[in-house]
Amino acid sequence: MLTNEHKSYIDRCVLSWLATASTENLPNVSPKEIFTYWGDSDILVANIASPQTVKNIKANPQVCISILDILVQKGFQFKGTAKIIFNGDPQWDKLQKPLYAMAGEKFPFNSLTQITVKSTKAILAPSYLFFPETSEEDQIHSAKKAYGLDK
């Protein structure tokens, strides 16, 4: 399910957004800074400051995580089923290692979200759709200007 292109985006992006829903069907979107892929079908996310995310996944495991390169303005949306893995779970030691390598001592976490991806969809900035001649270089230049990084 996860292609090399998906994995490349997961490796290079620094922020993702995880969407969950409560038992009352109220949506919640939470930024996630520490995430990676696990094998060819799972995405792992460190639960650093995520009490609502954890609560929602316990009640409703259907999630969507979006990962976007903010300069190129391309990425992917991954939908799937999530479960919370806590410190002490038999899988904890192996699953937390790649996340801990990213988080280090700076962001301690005692649980993680394991998302088994069921579907994927490309995310593109509207410029790519409405102006087909738009290149990634054009988008990078535009994004840097918008974020004040072109100085």
- Per-residue confidence (pLDDT) for residue 114, from 0 to 100: 98
pLDDT of residue 136: 93
pLDDT of residue 150 exceeding 90: no
Q: Which amino acid is at 136?
A: E
Cα distance between residue 69 and residue 33, in whole Å: 13
| Contacts (Cβ under 8 Å, ≥6 apart) of 14 | 33
Beta-sheet pairing, 42-46 with 62-69: unpaired
The full set of domain ranges for the chain reads: 4-125
Write out pLDDT tens, residues 53-94: 999 999 999 999 999 999 999 999 999 999 999 999 999 999
Place of tokens 């969407």: 19
Instruction: Name the more confident of 1 and 63.
Output: 63
Q: Tell me: the pLDDT tens digits for 12-26? A: 999 999 999 998 999
| CATH, domain 4-125, list 2.30.110.10, 3.30.1490.20, 3.60.130.10, 2.40.50.100 | 2.30.110.10
Query: Looking at per-residue confidence, does 146 or 7 come out higher?
Result: 7
Label residue 142 exposed, middle or buried (CB < 10 Å: 0-12, 13-18, 19+).
Answer: middle
Report pLDDT digits (tens) over 85-144. 999 999 999 999 999 999 988 899 999 999 999 999 999 999 999 999 999 999 999 999
* Alpha carbons 52 and 57: distance in angstroms, whole number: 9
* CA 71 to the chain's CA centroid: 16
Following DSSP, what letter does each residue of 21-36 receive, concatenated? Answer: E-TT--EEEEEESSEE
Residue type, 68: L
